[in-house]
Structure 1
Amino acid sequence: MAPVGGGPRPGGGGVLAVLYSFPFALGSPGIGFTAWNQANELVRAGVDVHIVAGSVEKPIEGAASVRTTLTVRGRRVPHRAIGRDRAMRIHDVVTAGLVGRLLDGGADDVVHAWPLASARTLRAARRRGIPGVREVPNTHTAHAYEVVAREYASLGLEPRRGESHTVNARRLATEESEYAAAAGMLVPSEAVAVSFLDRGFDDSRLLRHRYGCTVAAPPARDSGGPFTGVFLGRGSPRKGLHTALQAWTASTAAATGRFLVYGLLDEDYAALLAPLLAHPSVEVRGVTSEPMRVLASADVLLLPTVEEGSALVTYEAQVAGCVPLVSTAAGAVIDEGVTGFTHDVGDVGTLTAQLDLLIARPDALAMMSRAAMARADELSWAAAIQATLAAYREAARLVRGSSHAAA
C-alpha cells in the first residue's frame, strides 16, 4: 500500500469526510473517468476526501490523503498479473482496514465504494456506524445479464466470454454481497432504480444521484452540412446499434443525411450488421479521441441502448448541442421533447418517427439544440456532486434511523 501526500485530516467544523474507494485506475478511461470527476468535485466542494484507489492515473489536487493498493514502488500492478479476483480482494481488505484509521465515525463521515471490491469495506463501515454507500454504475447485475443475453439471443449471436455483462455466477454473488452490505446504493437513473425495485429492494435504500460532464466551450457547431446522426460507443448488441441502423435506414434522413458510427465494433456483430452498415448514408468511422468534436458536428445522437446506468455521452451531446434520441434504458437526463427524445428499448418505429420529425422540422431541431446547450451548467460534474452529497445525507439518516430502531 502506497500513501501519497495529504497530511492530517482537517478536523471539526462539520466538514464532511469521505473515504472514496475505487479498486481500478483512478482517472483512466471509462469508469475511472467517472470516479475521478466525482472525487475531484467532492474536493472542490470542500469535502475532506480520503482516496483509496488501485492506482492513480490522474492525480486529484487537494485530497486529504491518497493511498494506492495495487502499486509497488510507484508502479501499477496490472490486475492480470495477480488475477482480478485476487486484486479486488486485496483492495477490499486493505480499504476495510483503513475505515477506522481515516474516519472517526463522526456524524458527517461516509464511505463511498465502487463494485467488486467493497463488501468488507462496507461491513467495516457498518460496524462503526458509518454510512456506507455503493456506487451502482449499471442496472442490477442479474437484470443486466438477463436483458443482454436476451438481446444476443434475439440476434442469433453468442455472448462474448469474459465481458462484464455476460453471465458470471461468481461476479453476481460478489455484487449481491455488496448490495447487502451497503446502507444504500447510489443509483444514477430511474432505469437503474427500477431494476432493483423489481428484485424486491426497499426504495429507501436506492439513493438517487447522477453523473455529469465536463462543461467547457464546445467546438463550434457545424451548420450547413447534411442532416447528421451519430452513434458513439461500443458497437455491441447491448448498445443497440442494430436498432439505430434499422431506424435510420427506414427514415427519410437516410435519403439525404449521413449516419456516422464511432466506436469499436464487435466482429460477429459487425458481420451481422454488414447490410445495414453498407447503406450509402452510413459511415463507419472507428474509435475517436475527440468525442466533443464529433458531437458538435452532428444534429442528433442515436443511442438505443438495451442496458445502461446513465450514459455520459448523453450529457456531452446536450452540451455540444447534439439532440439525444435515446432509449429509456440510457439513463439520460433530458427534458422530453425539449432537449431530446426517448423511446422504449427496441422501438424502431418510434425512433424512426423522431428522425422523420426532426428532418422535416429544422426549426424544431434548432430549438431543441439551443435548449440542450442552454442547460450545460445543470449537466456539469459540479452540479452532479450536489445530488451525490444529498444522497450521502440520506444514507446518514438511514443509518441513524436503523441505529435508533436497534436501540
Structure 2
Amino acid sequence: MRVFFSTPIPLGSVGVGATALEQVRGAAENGVEVVVCTTGVDPRAEIPPGVRIVRSLGLGRWRVPHRALGLERAFRWNDYIGASLLRRRGPGGFDLVHCWPGWAQGTLTAAAELGIPSLREAPSAHTAEALAQAAAEQSVVPIPLAARDPFRNDPAKIRREEIDYRLASAVLTPSAYVAETFARRGHPESRLIRHRYGYSPERFPHPAPPQATPGRPFTVLFVGLCQPLKGVHYLLEAWYRSGAYRHGRLRLVGGWVPGYREALAERLAHPSIEVLPFSPEVAVHMREADAFALSSVTEGSAIVTFEAQAMGLALLVSDATGADMAHGVQGFQHPARDVEALAGHLALCLDQPELLLRMRRAGFERRDALSWREAGRRLADIYRTVAQD
C-alpha cells in the first residue's frame, strides 16, 4: 500500500512535527510504503528505512529556510509541490493521501480529482471551536495574545481549514473531545474517524509498577507551556480549595507566555508550589510525582497524558484534554473550567492513598497499549480500510 503523507511543518520537529514522524514510522513498520512531502526534516529525526522524503523547500542538497519565504508562503509552496507530485503520478500513483494542517487545499483537491481517498489530520479541536475557547478565556485572564499566536481570532484561517475538512474523504480525530467539536460544527460522524496518538517507551522507561512512597508528600505535576488555555489558573484555584496545599506539593514545569506568570504571582507564592523551567527530562519529574494535572479548556489529545499514565501517574485532567482514560480507573476527569470538581478529585487522592495507588497502577498497566507502536498499527489499519472503501 502506498500513502502520500504531506506536512508543511518540518518532519520530526518539536510538537506536531514529532507526532507526524511517529505516524510515518508506525505506518512504515506496518508495511505501508510512505512518501512524505515536507518543508524540511529535523536534523535529529531518524527516518525509517524505505520512507522517501520530498523536501519542498530544497535546492539539491540545500534546504531553503522558512524565513526566506515567510511561513505562509512556505506552507503554500509545500502544498503546491504536493499537489504537483500527485498529478504527475496520476490516479494509480498512491492508494491514499494523508495531510496535516497548515496548508493542504491544493493537495486535497488533487487527490479528489484523481479519485484518491484522503484524510485530513485534526490534531486539535475544530479550529473555530479552539479560537472561540481562546476568546472566552481572554475575559478570564486578559493577557494580550502575541501577533503570531495560533489562537488569535482569524476568520480567514477558519474558512481555509473548513475547506480542507470538506475536501478530505474523512477527518482523523485523535480523541472523543476533538470528534465532538467537529460534530458540533456540522460534520457528520460518518466522516470522522477516531484514531489516537501515543508515547515513546524509550523516552519514558519505568522498570517497575508504582509503589507507595511513605514520607513523600502527595505530589501533583504539570508539564507544558503555562498559558491560559492550559488552565493553570483553574488548577491553582482548585489546589487551594481542596486543601491540598496543606500537605501536598504542586510542581509546575515549563515556560510561560508573557504576562501569565505575573497575573498569577500571588497564587504561585505559596511554599507548596514549585515553579520550574522547561526541562527535556520530563520522565525524571514524573518519577517524583503521584498524579498529573492538566486543566485545559481546549486541546486535541495531549500526548503528555499518555506519557504520564505510562510512568504510573494518576490523571487529574479536564474533558478537553482528549486523554485516553476511564474516569475513576486511571484517574479522574473533570469538566473544563470546573474548579469544584477538580478540587474534589485532588481531595480524594490526598485522603485515599489506596485509591490513588490503584489508579496509578491501572495507568501503568496500559504501557504497551498506549505506545506509538500500537498507535501505528491502528493508523495502518485505518489507511487500508479507507483505501478499500
When structure 1 is superposed on structure 2, of 145-154 and 213-222 the one drifting more is: 213-222
Could you tell me how far apart the structure 1 residues matched to 2:320 and 2:90 are? 37
Counterpart of 1:275 in structure 2 is 266
- Cα deviation, 1:137-184, whole Å, max 9, x if unaligned, reads 111111111011101112233333211111122322221221121111
Determine if the alignment matches structure 1 residue 117 to structure 2 residue 137: no
Q: Which structure 2 residues correspond to residues 135-150 of structure 1 after superposition, within 5 A?
A: 135-150=121-136
Q: Does structure 2 retain, via aligned residues, the 8 Å contact 1:252–1:359?
A: no
Match of 1:348? 339
Amino acid at match of 2:334: H
For residues 347 and 334 of structure 1, what CA distance do their matches in structure 2 show?
A: 19
Residue 88 of structure 1 and its aligned partner are, at CA, apart by 0.9
8 Å Cα contact 1:99-1:124 kept in structure 2? yes
Asked if 2 retains the 8 angstrom alpha-carbon contact of 1:125 and 1:132, the reply is yes
Match of 1:21 in 2: 6
Corresponding residue SS for 1:245: helix
Structure 2 regions of 5+ residues with no counterpart? none
Q: Deviations over 1:345-402 (max 9, x none)?
A: 11111111111111111111111111111111110111112332343345336xx5xx
CA distance in 2, matches of 1:71, 1:170: 28
Per-residue deviation, 1:257:
1.3
Paired residue type of 1:42:
A
Aligned to 1:161: 147
Secondary structure of 1:271 counterpart: helix
TM-score by length of 2: 0.94
Structure 2 counterpart of 1:36, one-letter code: L
Residue in structure 2 matching 1:334, options 325, 329, 337: 325
Judging changes above 3 Å, is the alpha-carbon distance between structure 1 residues 274 and 201 closer, same or farther for their aligned structure 2 residues? same
Aligned to 1:52: 37
1:37 corresponding residue in structure 2: 22
Q: What's the TM-score once normalised by structure 1's chain length?
A: 0.90
Match of residue 64, structure 2, among 77, 90, 93:
77
Does the 8 A contact of 1:25 with 1:32 survive in 2?
yes
Alignment correspondent of 2:380: 389
The residue correspondences of 1:4-403 to structure 2 (distance < 5 A) are 16-57=1-42, 58-101=45-88, 105=92, 109-216=95-202, 217-218=205-206, 223-224=213-214, 225-396=216-387, 400=389
Q: CA 1:363/1:166 → structure 2, altered by over 3 Å: closer, same or farther?
A: same
**Maintained 8 Å contact 1:260/1:285:** yes
How many angstroms apart in 2 are the aligned matches of 1:78 and 1:324?
40
Shifted more, 197-206 versus 211-220: the winner is 211-220
Q: How far apart are residue 333 of structure 1 and its match?
A: 0.1
Q: Is the 8 A contact 1:219 1:296 kept in 2?
A: no
Displacement of 1:236 after TM fit? 0.5
Displacement of 1:102 in angstroms is 5.1
Shift of 1:294: 1.3
Determine if contact 1:20/1:111 at 8 Å carries over to the other structure: yes
| Alignment-mate amino acid for residue 350 of structure 2 | I
Report Cα offsets for 1:283-337 as digits up to 9, x if no partner: 1001011112211211111100011000000000000001111000000000211
**C-alpha contact (below 8 Å) 2:26/2:380 kept by paired residues:** no
| Secondary structure of 1:55 counterpart | coil
Tell me how far 1:75 sits from its aligned partner: 4.0
> Does the CA contact (< 8 Å) of 2:91 and 2:115 recur in 1?
no
Match for residue 7 of structure 1? none
Deviates more, 1:65-74 or 1:80-89: 65-74
Count of equivalent residues? 382
Partner of 1:186: helix, strand, or coil? Answer: strand
The letter of the residue matching 1:234 is: L
Deviations 1:51-86, CA, capped at 9 Å, x for gaps: 111111113121342111123343443322211111
Shift in CA distance, 219/352, structure 1 to aligned 2, threshold 3 Å: farther
Distance verdict in 2 for CA 1:298–1:74, change over 3 Å? farther
Return the alpha-carbon distance in structure 1 between the equivalents of residues 174 and 370 of structure 2. 13
- AA aligned to 1:18 is V
Contact 2:91/2:116, CA 8 A, preserved across alignment: no
Instruction: Give secondary structure in 2 for the equivalent of 1:81.
Output: helix
Identity %: 39
| RMSD of equivalent CA atoms | 1.8
Q: Partner of 1:12 in structure 2?
A: none
SS of 1:161's equivalent in the other structure is coil
Are the aligned partners of 1:103 and 1:109 in contact in 2 as well (CA < 8 Å)? Answer: no
**For residue 270 of structure 1, what is the amino acid of its counterpart?**
R
Unaligned runs of 5+ in 1: 1-15, 401-407
Tell me which amino acid in the other structure corresponds to 1:188. P
Q: Secondary structure at the match of 2:7?
A: strand
* Paired residues of 2:349 and 2:355 also in contact (CA < 8 A): yes
One-letter amino acid of the counterpart of residue 285, structure 1:
L
Partners in 2 of 1:348 and 1:228 — Cα distance?
Answer: 19
For 2:23 and 2:37, the matched residues in 1 are separated by: 14
Q: Secondary structure at the match of 1:174?
A: helix
The farther-off stretch of 161-170 and 215-224 is 215-224
